Chains A and B, each alone.
Chain A
Amino acid sequence: MSAEKTMKLNLKIWRQKNADSNGSIEDFQLDGVSTDMSFLEMLDVLNEQLISAGREPIAFDHDCREGVCGCCGAVVNGQVHGPDEETTLCQLHMRRFHDGDTIQIEPWRSRAFPVIKDLIVDRTAFERIQQAGGFVSVSTGSAPDANTISIPTRDAEKAFDFAECIGCGGCVAACPNGAAMLFTAAKVAQLVTLPQGKLERSSRVLTMVERMDAEGFGDCTNHYECSAACPKGVPIEAIAVMNREYLRATFLSPEGA
């Protein structure tokens, strides 16, 4: 058991009033940060301090604080969701830092994710990508008994690996090109791995990629930073699957005409 300690930190945090204004990095000193705190709890403490000083607290998205809703996220000292592997910002703990550290906190940076305020960005581009085809067209009530579809364990597990994406946007933020390939591919790959999703595989990949491209994300050049930064470890294989599906749909399917 590591004993709780407290530390003093220098924080450099991006502040921006709204989408139309210019932001800048502001400096804050924070004392008495417990090593047991989560990163967001550290920000809570800072905000309490700001409020008592009459300054507006730092706005940041967060909700479940257990690493699954995908709300939170920031770039910490240049690293998406901070230094830990497979960890969301809310699951990052202050024991990863040391007394006297300077911590730089920035929002996701992407043309497709404009900053709304401080660390909050607009991720609705992700919504539009999902709406473009991230589903199986089955209406309520029309499903057959679940066991009429047999799925090998390895396929179910594989599909789960892709399906674990929480839509946080960390992949885009981490990609040197600002590409949204891993996010889009996670859904394409999940659904094409399962028999339920195979019927619409061609139209799905064509429309989702088209939407993704229209949103202003960059193009993938296989740096693989996305998967390394992904708090759920969505495998890079997803992107290969999507590439393959896209080529297949373009050259071999009627939908590609």
Chain B
Amino acid sequence: MSSNSPILDPKCPGGDIETRWDRHRFAMKQVNPANKRKFHIIVVGTGLAGGSAAASLAELGYRVTSLCIQDSPRRAHSIAAQGGINAAKNYPNDGDSVFRLFYDTIKGGDYRARESNVYRLAQVSNNIIDQATAQGVPFAREYGGHLANRSFGGAQVSRTFYARGATGQQLLLGAYAAMNRQIQAGRIDMRCRREMLELVVVDGVARGVIVRNLITGAYERYAGDAVLLCTGGYGNAFYLSTNAKNSNVTASWRAYKRGAFFANPCYTQIHPTCIPVSGDHQSKLTLMSESLRNDGRVWVPKAAEDKRPASQIPEEDRDYYLERRYPAFGNLVPRDVASRAAKERCDAGFGVGSSSMAVYLDFADAIDRDGEDAVRAKYGNLFHMYQKITDENPYESPMRIFPAVHYTMGGLWVDYNLESTIPGLFVLGEANFSDHGANRLGASALMQGLSDGYFVIPYTVCGHLAGRHLQPVTTQHEAFAEAESEARSQTEKLLAVGGSRSVDSFHRELGLTLWDDCGMARSEKGLKHAIGKIAELRAAFWNDVRVLGEEKDLNQSLEKAGRVADFLEFAEVLVKDALNRTESCGGHFRLESQTEEGEAKRDDENFSYAAAWEYQGTGQDAVLHKEPLAFEYVQLAQRSYK
């Protein structure tokens, strides 16, 4: 299959990487300022990427329609990002630079990201901080009044800007405010509680969307000259994740079924420090900031099935396995390494807590060393949150943590212009695949979302609008009718099944399958098992799901059912991508690809490419397209944290 799959061209400019973006922007066709109001752009999603794109495009004079699933654009899940946003400002004078941020991002992504995109990301990172500050985002400050930075996620420099533990919230509210200004000015038509169900493609170009009005249940058509998907990641395929409950893959998936390629779906980030599952009722997982590992020590009992409370396990019976395995980095190994090591211990029977699927994160030493007050000053809000959820006091007994799905690096394939394989369909933020490779660094998601929306798409959309001679299209076009009937028929089908099981029960089962067979460790056997299981589950879903209520009404079961139906299809591509990639990379440990010491082993010779999957119709295997990854500026090396 892979030997004769066609090669994909990312349309990156060549030459000196430092001037690529400049030269590319200069070479691109421009839209005359007076003509901008003639173009209509549809933006789906209002997170950091969608919000910043909608506002910036409207400021330029385009007519924008913005759609979001919640009752307000301010509620997109970017709001939940805690830690911070990276930028190469080098304010602390510790040696940061655009090149270093670029280098760290490529290396952190385990050499599976596109150099040109990542360099551009590092270049515009500084503008983001300026923009957000001007909007009134209350970043943390030093006593002299200048912006404060902190080190994050094991980075060697302090380049992370933050607003207490709510950086995502504050940045999103900044973009939201910029949108509000344009809504007030009449340049953004904001439509909330709308879920995108279909992409409308006319003459091979994306020209509109079909959405369901989540209050009335009516289908609505929106036509435009370009469509921007800013609909986030697909982490909820795993059911339990740190994603918001409404986050889903539907918009991306329907675009995929209309011809957009899906790239690297098997790249999911599993965050090491989350509060573990407490029971079957669990509906989502809560992240505890990565910064905790700066002072906490991770351990499990030395003896398997040791059920004594932590306080009764003496020092000599404890296994500080990260410090044991990675003496150089200890508890500060990157996310992927920490996650895998925790899973390894729990699988081997050393896990703690009632579920035995957790490890301890212990602050006793830090409290002894610095005092409880110092620890409280640094992590007070996190400890408080932990106590609220678990009813345990982390000042007295160690936290229990376990990895959880957190972010998805994979997404719709885009070229350097953020344009998918469907002309006129642009994909921004977590929904695309381009910048993080196989593993995203901490504090880089916010950077990428805002970079795409504020500083990339306003330029690259011009190339499409000015370069292609778009004919006027209205919602009366037959392509809209066809797409709408497609969306309608799926909804009707869901309501007609009339089975006995709830949507959530299928979703949970799918999640468990993916977590077990396609989570942190994967093997051919497990992945093949998952493929069979997913097909069974999909069949069972369409036979036995029970969706109550009506179509023309606010119907949350129906909304969920549509999303789970898509997850059940999408999961197969996710697993098949994982099966294809027989190397270990990022947090994805392929059992067949490990070093003698049991560490992850990349296979650059065979897998130095982005895998983009093309839909071939129901029941057909997707076709793999490869985008080879060339590394001209960063030397490939095996990561080691020993």
- Could you tell me if B141 and A70 are in contact, using CB atoms closer than 8 angstroms? no
Q: Does A149 contact B (CB under 8 A)?
A: yes
Q: Mark A125-151, 1 if CB is under 8 A from B, else 0.
A: 011001111111111111111110111
Q: Mark A102-146, 1 if CB is under 8 A from B, else 0.
A: 000000000000001100101110110011111111111111111
- Could you tell me if B504 and A150 are in contact, using CB atoms closer than 8 angstroms? no
Known: A93-B389, A156-B138. A65 touches B283 (CB 8 A): yes
- Could you tell me if B139 and A196 are in contact, using CB atoms closer than 8 angstroms? no
- Could you tell me if A91 and B388 are in contact, using CB atoms closer than 8 angstroms? yes
Q: Mark A155-184, 1 if CB is under 8 A from B, else 0.
A: 011011001101100000000000000000
Give chain A residues whose Cβ lies under 8 Å from the Cβ of B246.
63
Give chain B residues whose Cβ lies under 8 Å from the Cβ of A139.
56, 59
Question: Which of A31-74 touch B at CB < 8 Å?
Answer: 34-38, 40-42, 44-45, 47-48, 51-52, 54-57, 59, 61-66, 68-71
Alpha-carbon separation in the docked complex, A95 to B392 (Å):
12
- Could you tell me if A68 and B80 are in contact, using CB atoms closer than 8 angstroms? yes
- Could you tell me if A153 and B136 are in contact, using CB atoms closer than 8 angstroms? no
Q: Which of A87, A137, A150, A196 contacts B181 (CB 8 A)?
A: A137
Determine the residue in chain A with the shortest Cβ distance to B283. Answer: A41
Alpha-carbon separation in the docked complex, A142 to B215 (Å):
39
- Could you tell me if A156 and B281 are in contact, using CB atoms closer than 8 angstroms? no
Q: Does A254 contact B (CB under 8 A)?
A: no
Q: Does B131 contact A (CB under 8 A)?
A: yes
Q: SS class of chain A's interface: helix, strand, loop or mixed?
A: loop
Interface residues on B, range: 35 or more
Tally A-B pairs: CB < 8 A.
Answer: 227
Min C-beta distance of A69 to chain B, whole Å: 4
Question: Which of A175-220 touch B at CB < 8 Å?
Answer: 190-191, 194, 196-197
Min C-beta distance of B331 to chain A, whole Å: 23
Q: Which of B181, B281, B454, B553 contacts A37 (CB 8 A)?
A: B281
Give chain B residues whose Cβ lies under 8 Å from the Cβ of A164.
166, 169
Q: Does A257 contact B (CB under 8 A)?
A: no
- Could you tell me if A140 and B455 are in contact, using CB atoms closer than 8 angstroms? yes
Give chain A residues whose Cβ lies under 8 Å from the Cβ of B132.
146
Determine the residue in chain B with the shortest Cβ distance to A187. Answer: B177
Min C-beta distance of B465 to chain A, whole Å: 18
Alpha-carbon separation in the docked complex, A93 to B89 (Å):
42
* B interface residues, Cβ below 8 angstroms from A: 52, 55-56, 59, 70-72, 74-75, 77, 79-80, 89, 91, 127, 129-147, 163-164, 166, 169-170, 173, 176-178, 180-181, 183-184, 190, 192, 215, 242, 244-246, 278-279, 281-284, 286-287, 309, 354, 385, 388-389, 391-392, 397, 454-455, 458, 500, 502, 504-505, 546, 548-549, 553-554, 556-557
Sample 30 A-B pairs with CB under 8 A, ordered by A number: A1-B309, A1-B391, A1-B397, A18-B554, A51-B557, A54-B548, A56-B557, A59-B554, A62-B245, A64-B75, A64-B79, A65-B283, A66-B287, A69-B75, A70-B72, A91-B389, A117-B554, A130-B180, A133-B184, A135-B181, A138-B178, A140-B56, A141-B131, A146-B89, A146-B132, A149-B134, A150-B144, A156-B138, A163-B170, A190-B138
Known: A36-B281, A55-B548. 17 other contacts (CB 8 A): A45-B281, A48-B505, A69-B77, A71-B75, A127-B72, A127-B190, A134-B180, A136-B177, A140-B458, A146-B134, A147-B91, A150-B146, A152-B145, A163-B163, A190-B136, A194-B138, A197-B136
Closest 8 CB pairs of A and B: A150-B145, A143-B134, A135-B177, A146-B133, A143-B130, A140-B56, A159-B138, A160-B138
* A interface residues, Cβ below 8 angstroms from B: 1-2, 4, 18, 34-38, 40-42, 44-45, 47-48, 51-52, 54-57, 59, 61-66, 68-71, 84, 87, 91, 93, 95, 116-117, 120, 122-124, 126-127, 130-147, 149-153, 156-157, 159-160, 163-164, 166-167, 190-191, 194, 196-197
